[in-house]
């Protein structure tokens, strides 16, 4: 099997609240011919929090990560697994390419720390790499344990397709639907697939964010999904860790495990539930992990 080489940016959550995500990615990647190497000494991308403190801040912080990948060389694509990192790093990549004054500011700031960037790194989400570079046919061929009969709700959240990019549709994304179908699972219709989970509002305006979480989970339940599948640590956290609070606040009886697409894919490739980190969640996976 030829290995495809990429730089990998786990993001802060990849080393903390989404360690199970990272674990499953580390497990499935080599099995699918992906050689992901973590960028040395990466820093926080800045996310929406820093962008709100100063709109340029996350561009400059992200640019350091892009510069580190470029300096190390040998691989053109930087693979990201967090949707927020993805949107913020892409925003940096685009502003750097399109806006002269931003480029000047970034160049100057990087020069101040003895680094330079020339704009060659391409930021990509792991989901895109799986669907486009590995390909659905190759994925299908590697499935050892088809997840037949498992009904899954694909939840993309905001930042995979928004703002516009060359990968996903801003409102009707399909890549995860296709990937989950390749595992043999049944993908339910899911109209709220690209709605917002509340993001950081879960910390700052919990009441408002809980309503958004409820909307997503209750559609999944109404469609009789056994689990919700995400591609983002923020979405996973809000839907999983706050599910009990949603039930308490709205009198619902939701009990939906929230998995990462990499974990579902891992199950179908024959990996075990615990090595994929399926135990590390608030709502237990139950029967979903025993398939």
Partner 1 sequence: MRAVQSQVPGRGPLPVVGEADLDGKFVVTVMELSGEDGLLGCIQCGTCTGSCQLSSWMDYTPRRIVDMVRKGLAREVLASRAIWYCASCYYCTVRCPRGIKLTEVLYALKSLALARGYAEPGAPAPAFYRTFFEVVGRYGRLYEPGLMIGVALRSGFGRLFRLAPLGLGMLRRGKMALLPERVRAVDEVRALMERVSRGLVRR
53 is an interface residue for partner 1 by CB under 8 A: yes
Stretch that binds partner 1, among 74-82, 103-111, 120-128, 252-260 (CB under 8 A): 103-111
Alpha-helical (H) ranges within 99-190 are 100-112, 126-128, 136-142, 175-182
Stretch that binds partner 1, among 25-33, 59-67, 139-147, 219-227 (CB under 8 A): 59-67
Interface with partner 1 (CB under 8 A), residue from 4, 115, 122, 140: 115
- By beta-carbon proximity to partner 1, the closer residue of 8 and 147 is 8
Q: How far is the CB of 240 from partner 1 (least distance, A)?
A: 9
Nearest residue to 30 (alpha-carbon basis) of 271, 212, 217:
271
Give the 3-state secondary structure of residue 227: strand
Q: In b/e form, how buried is each residue of 247-270, taking b as 16+ CB within 10 angstroms?
A: eeeeeeebebbbbbbbbbbbbbbe
Q: Which of 31, 37, 44, 221 binds partner 1 (CB under 8 A)?
A: 44
Considering the complex, what minimum distance in angstroms separates the CB of residue 187 from partner 1? 23
Contact 145, 264 (CB under 8 A): no
Q: Note whether 146 and 268 are within 8 A (CB).
A: yes
118: contact with partner 1 by CB under 8 A? no
Shortest gap between Cβ of 74 and partner 1 (angstroms)?
21
Q: Does 50 bind partner 1 (CB under 8 A)?
A: yes
Q: How many helices (H) and strands (E) does the chain have?
A: 14, 8
**CA nearest neighbour of 283 among 231, 246, 234:** 246
3-state class (DSSP) for residue 163: coil
CB of 218 to partner 1, least distance (A): 15
Binding mask 139-178 for partner 1 (x = CB under 8 A): -------------------xx--xxx-----xx-------
135 scored as a contact of partner 1 (CB under 8 A): no
Q: Residues 244, 246, 252, 256: is their CA dihedral positive or negative?
A: negative
Q: Judged by CB under 8 A, which stretch of 118-126, 133-141, 183-191, 276-284 contacts partner 1? A: 276-284
Give just the sign of the alpha carbon dihedral 2, 21, 91, 41: negative
User: What is the three-class DSSP state of 271?
Assistant: coil
Q: Does residue 198 bind partner 1 (CB under 8 A)?
A: yes
Is 218 a binding residue for partner 1 by CB under 8 A? The answer is no
Cis peptide before 163 (omega within 30 of 0): yes
Q: Any residues with CB less than 8 A from the CB of 183 and at least 6 apart, and which?
A: 139, 143, 146, 147, 264, 265, 267, 268
**Can you tell me which of 22, 51, 243, 268 binds partner 1, judged by CB under 8 A?**
51
Out of 38, 94, 105, 107, the residue judged to bind partner 1 by CB under 8 A: 105
200 near partner 1 (CB under 8 A): yes
Distance CA(262)–CA(25), nearest Å, equals 6
Footprint of partner 1 on this chain (CB under 8 A)? Answer: 12-13, 15-20, 41-44, 46-57, 60-61, 64, 87, 95, 99, 102, 105, 109-110, 112-113, 115, 158-159, 162-164, 170-171, 195-196, 198-201, 203-205, 208-209, 212, 241, 279-282
């Amino acid at each position: 099997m030829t290995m495809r080489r990429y730089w990998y940016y786990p993001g802060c959550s990849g080393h903390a609240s989404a360690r199970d995500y990272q674990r499953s990615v580390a497990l499935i990647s080599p099995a699918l011919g992906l050689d992901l190497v973590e960028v040395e000494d990466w820093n926080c991308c800045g996310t929406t929090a820093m962008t709100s403190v100063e709109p340029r801040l996350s561009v400059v912080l992200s640019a350091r990560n892009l510069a580190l990948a470029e300096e190390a060389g040998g691989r053109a694509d930087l693979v990201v697994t967090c949707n927020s990192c993805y949107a913020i790093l892409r925003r940096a990549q685009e502003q750097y390419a399109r806006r002269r004054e931003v480029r000047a500011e970034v160049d100057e700031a990087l020069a101040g720390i003895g680094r330079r960037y020339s704009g060659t790194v391409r930021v990509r989400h792991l989901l895109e790499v799986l669907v486009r570079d590995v390909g659905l046919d190759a994925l299908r061929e590697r499935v050892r344990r088809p997840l037949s009969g498992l009904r899954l709700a694909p939840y993309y959240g905001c930042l995979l397709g928004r703002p516009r990019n060359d990968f996903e549709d801003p409102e009707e994304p399909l890549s995860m639907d296709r990937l989950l179908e390749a595992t043999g699972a049944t993908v339910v219709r899911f109209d709220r697939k690209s709605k917002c989970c509340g993001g950081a509002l879960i910390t700052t305006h919990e009441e408002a964010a809980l309503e958004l979480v409820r909307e997503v989970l209750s559609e999944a339940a109404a469609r009789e999904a056994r689990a919700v599948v995400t591609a983002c640590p923020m979405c996973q956290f809000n839907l999983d860790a706050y599910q009990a609070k949603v039930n308490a606040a709205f009198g619902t009886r939701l009990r939906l495990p929230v998995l990462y697409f990499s974990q579902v894919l891992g199950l179908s490739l024959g990996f075990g539930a615990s090595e994929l980190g399926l135990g590390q969640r608030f709502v237990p996976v139950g029967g979903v992990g025993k398939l």
